Chains A and B, each alone.
Chain A
């Protein structure tokens, strides 16, 4: 018998959960893609704050006072004994006990497109396989296709990998620059007209469903229902009134507003939200750039942490702050810092994370990792573990098995709760 028939037959009876355990499937499943959806959900969520261009570790969370490359920013104490961070992150300094700072990132793609892909998928770009982004993987294993909202929503400059081999069900859903629903999300017709033609389409589907029962027909009909459900959620995206009150907490910036939107979406049950912040690629005027960026980042990030915490959402929401690269300790002749991948910083917080942790260290001048290097694969294995996703969960591209993280990736248990 054809082994692939066996596989399909097996999938119909068994649902293999993220943890690798087999769960009996009693529902009348129509489609193998939806099997993941039937797996018991962990309730985990994830927010990625993306520092597009690559933030400077020395000017934020891995300061080197006294070194020739230290730059003009001063370190300040945090609420975690022994941890100092940049003076322009004063509000975050009060949240240090919630953070796990990984200071020993050693990654393998020093430029933007490759680095953006790498730090969204855990893999270097490859010709033969397109890997899914973290958001797509989270959508698959933590999302719910029954939800009115997409499971993977993003704003601003973000990833370039999309859903990869996981397929269109887990494709990122982009909001426009202002965090509003983008083109095609609405027909522009009156609700009455929309309902009228929707009723007609539903009638056609019901009529044809009696004859056409193959899985793809059903998948199509469900996706159509999802498109309509999205229309019902329009008010989730309408935050103008609430923003008037929240802007003080998040800072009155576009990024702050998008972070507030992220909170609304997480609260509404979205599994993964990514918010991009621009302008970190400071090959010139590094300190001007970073000061301005931190003035935006500090209230937005800390406001989001406060907000999630107060609502009891932080427990189940993993927050990640990272970009595609770090920046050189050396300051170039344009007062800039260039790309650097041999010792940089990523910060985790919230669900699954052991707050108040500093993991790994760069050497005194910041020119490399001194202790406990963490690769992109290690980071992704750690992130997936925090989200309750098996880092070795396996998918197939054609006949070829692909794992969620590269072979040999190590979970950094020290930063996990």
Chain B
């Protein structure tokens, strides 16, 4: 019989102790490549060649900084002959403030999605993202910032709970899905059909959130929420959905850790009366839950984040989808999954360390090209292809059209109108329910025809069209600059030839230049991180 991964992790830690193991083991990046290579041999797969520098450059910028490199950054990197140039670029980007901001954006979407409930309260999340970015900038470990998030006592962290407010079943589903990679929603109405999770387990978990309170201070733009906790209040369990009857109230369920013991809770003092606006409860269930969740020996927490971050960079979780770590859903690379979970625990759940290991692997740096059409190869024998998020699209458009450069020269940004809102609407959720990419007609019409995009192509001092129009360089050089700025690569010979012909087909090139940029920002290569 094979031990389940979570049991193994616990066992290994007990036997050897983390420090000892760390001393013996090679860096995680080597372990990853060795395990993946072994799987390719076993599955008789030929890996794609190493991505060329230009492909790597675009990919690593988008993954770590959430945008494409500027023309100058691209030129500089492609001229670099240092053998360690990739590792050095990775280190540079991991230290760039854009890294923290981008990770905050990625996690913000994990927590809220595109259409969070309670939209009035959760629409403006600048403060929440700022708090998250600070955690990444200060290199706060994952368990520590999750603790801060779920205690909901600093900054706008409370917004995570505020989206569900008193619907604690939703809170329970979200917390267990995101932080534990566990799907509990089935057990909400009946015992889980395929997993050993009962409805009582579900309400046992819900009990930890039953006493949260929400108070709103100030209204309008200043609206802030304070999440508090009472000393009383229970979840009522009234049987399966089938047994529900009007008027049936149900029995209180004591909090119980999933797969663990019930919460040991002191009784309330006799004659206790709940104060009107309790700041702190006599005994905090929330704190107990957070302590259990983020403890080093929690059976779900570390492997869930290891899998999620792996998928963020490698495309597919070793358990896929990333929030379904059940016994039925075994990892593609079980030994590697254990090893990386353990290593992340040993490194005190330092996500930046983990990310650095992943993006330094040969596997991450493979080409994405090849015959096979699967955008997320299950054995990682090619790099994944993923659409840019709406935020990455906006950032890449601003960089690729020279809008950023023009803004810097002007000393102020050009008015943007509703570009970001449109992009979120049309590019926000480009998948079906299963996560497969879908392209929408409206997204293309917006990119093709909107004034929002068109104005990025206009000649403004410093913009790409302006630079190309004013440059005295020969046309082939200008086409090189065009491609490097928009697509982060040089044109192929036939592309250079065709674009030179296009741009010189009329005496005045101004409109043709804008059309050429238009063609490149509308092409599939721009739309994806590949």
Q: How far is the CA of A187 from the CA of B511 in the complex (A)?
A: 14
Indicate if the CB atoms of B442 and A184 lie closer than 8 Å.
yes
Q: Enumerate chain B residues within 8 angstroms of A205, measured Cβ to Cβ.
A: 523-524
Q: Enumerate chain B residues within 8 angstroms of A208, measured Cβ to Cβ.
A: 523-525
Q: Enumerate chain B residues within 8 angstroms of A227, measured Cβ to Cβ.
A: 441, 444-445, 448
Flag whether A95 is at the interface (Cβ < 8 A). no
Q: Mark B425-450, 1 if CB is under 8 A from A, else 0.
A: 00001111111111111111110111
Q: How far is the CA of A200 from the CA of B372 in the complex (A)?
A: 26
B386, B429, B450, B515: which contacts A200 (Cβ < 8 A)?
B515
Q: Chain A interface: which size bin? A: 35 or more
Indicate if the CB atoms of B523 and A226 lie closer than 8 Å.
no
Q: How far is the CA of A226 from the CA of B438 in the complex (A)?
A: 13
Flag whether B17 is at the interface (Cβ < 8 A). no
Flag whether A178 is at the interface (Cβ < 8 A). no
Indicate if the CB atoms of B525 and A171 lie closer than 8 Å.
no
| B324, B433, B498, B518 pick with most chain A CB within 10 angstroms | B433
Flag whether B516 is at the interface (Cβ < 8 A). yes
Indicate if the CB atoms of B436 and A197 lie closer than 8 Å.
no
Q: How far is the CA of A201 from the CA of B499 in the complex (A)?
A: 11
Q: Enumerate chain B residues within 8 angstroms of A397, measured Cβ to Cβ.
A: 433
Indicate if the CB atoms of B445 and A167 lie closer than 8 Å.
no
Which stretch of A82-90, A217-225, A368-376, A377-385 is in the interface? Answer: A217-225
Indicate if the CB atoms of A215 and B492 lie closer than 8 Å.
no
A165, A185, A213: which contacts B449 (Cβ < 8 A)?
A185
Indicate if the CB atoms of B433 and A395 lie closer than 8 Å.
yes
Query: Given A165-B432, A204-B495: A184 and B439 within 8 A (CB)?
Result: no
Q: How far is the CA of A277 from the CA of B515 in the complex (A)?
A: 41
B186, B373, B519: which contacts A214 (Cβ < 8 A)?
B373
Q: Enumerate chain A residues within 8 angstroms of B446, measured Cβ to Cβ.
A: 184
With CB as the reference atom, state the residue of chain A lying closest to B439: A223
Query: Given A2-B378, A185-B445, A400-B185: A169 and B439 within 8 A (CB)?
Result: yes
Flag whether B164 is at the interface (Cβ < 8 A). yes
Indicate if the CB atoms of A130 and B115 lie closer than 8 Å.
yes
Indicate if the CB atoms of A213 and B373 lie closer than 8 Å.
yes
Q: Enumerate chain B residues within 8 angstroms of A27, measured Cβ to Cβ.
A: none
Q: Enumerate chain A residues within 8 angstroms of B320, measured Cβ to Cβ.
A: 2, 4
Q: How far is the CB of A227 from the nearest CB of chain B, in Å?
A: 4
With CB as the reference atom, state the residue of chain B lying closest to A187: B449
Query: Given A220-B524, A223-B443: A212 and B368 within 8 A (CB)?
Result: yes
With CB as the reference atom, state the residue of chain A lying closest to B328: A3
Q: How far is the CA of A200 from the CA of B439 in the complex (A)?
A: 21
Flag whether B183 is at the interface (Cβ < 8 A). yes
Flag whether B117 is at the interface (Cβ < 8 A). yes
Indicate if the CB atoms of B324 and A31 lie closer than 8 Å.
no
Q: Enumerate chain B residues within 8 angstroms of A67, measured Cβ to Cβ.
A: none
Q: Enumerate chain A residues within 8 angstroms of B186, measured Cβ to Cβ.
A: 400
Q: Enumerate chain A residues within 8 angstroms of B438, measured Cβ to Cβ.
A: 33, 167-169, 219
Q: Enumerate chain A residues within 8 angstroms of B435, measured Cβ to Cβ.
A: 398
Flag whether B123 is at the interface (Cβ < 8 A). no
Q: What is the interface of chain B mostly: helix, strand, loop, or mixed? A: loop
| A4, A150, A400 pick with most chain B CB within 10 angstroms | A4
Q: Enumerate chain B residues within 8 angstroms of A217, measured Cβ to Cβ.
A: 385, 524-525, 528
Q: Enumerate chain B residues within 8 angstroms of A184, measured Cβ to Cβ.
A: 442, 445-446, 448-450
Q: Enumerate chain A residues within 8 angstroms of B522, measured Cβ to Cβ.
A: 201, 224
Q: How far is the CA of A207 from the CA of B524 in the complex (A)?
A: 11
Indicate if the CB atoms of B429 and A168 lie closer than 8 Å.
yes
Q: How far is the CA of A203 from the CA of B498 in the complex (A)?
A: 9
Which chain A residues numbered 222 to 269 have a C-beta less than 8 Å away from chain B?
222-224, 226-227, 230
Indicate if the CB atoms of A214 and B185 lie closer than 8 Å.
no
Q: What are the 3 A-B residue pairs with the smallest beta carbon separation, nearest first?
A: A168-B440, A223-B439, A165-B433
Chain B residues engaging chain A, CB cutoff 8 angstroms: 115, 117, 164, 167, 170, 173, 183, 185-186, 320-321, 323-324, 328-330, 332, 368-375, 378, 385-387, 429-446, 448-450, 492, 494-495, 498-499, 502, 511, 515-516, 518-520, 522-525, 527-528, 530
Chain A residues engaging chain B, CB cutoff 8 angstroms: 2-5, 8, 30-33, 127-128, 130, 150, 165-169, 171, 173, 183-188, 193, 196-197, 200-201, 203-205, 207-208, 211-224, 226-227, 230, 395-400, 402
Contacts beyond the supplied A167-B438, A201-B522, A215-B437: 20 A-B pairs with Cβ under 8 Å? A31-B436, A127-B117, A165-B433, A167-B430, A168-B438, A169-B432, A188-B449, A201-B518, A204-B523, A207-B494, A212-B369, A212-B524, A213-B373, A214-B528, A224-B448, A226-B441, A398-B183, A398-B433, A399-B323, A402-B433
28 of the cross-chain contacts (CB-CB < 8 Å) are: A4-B320, A5-B378, A32-B432, A32-B434, A127-B117, A150-B441, A167-B431, A168-B440, A168-B443, A184-B450, A197-B519, A201-B518, A204-B519, A208-B523, A212-B524, A212-B525, A213-B371, A214-B374, A214-B528, A215-B436, A216-B524, A217-B385, A219-B437, A220-B524, A222-B439, A224-B444, A227-B444, A398-B435
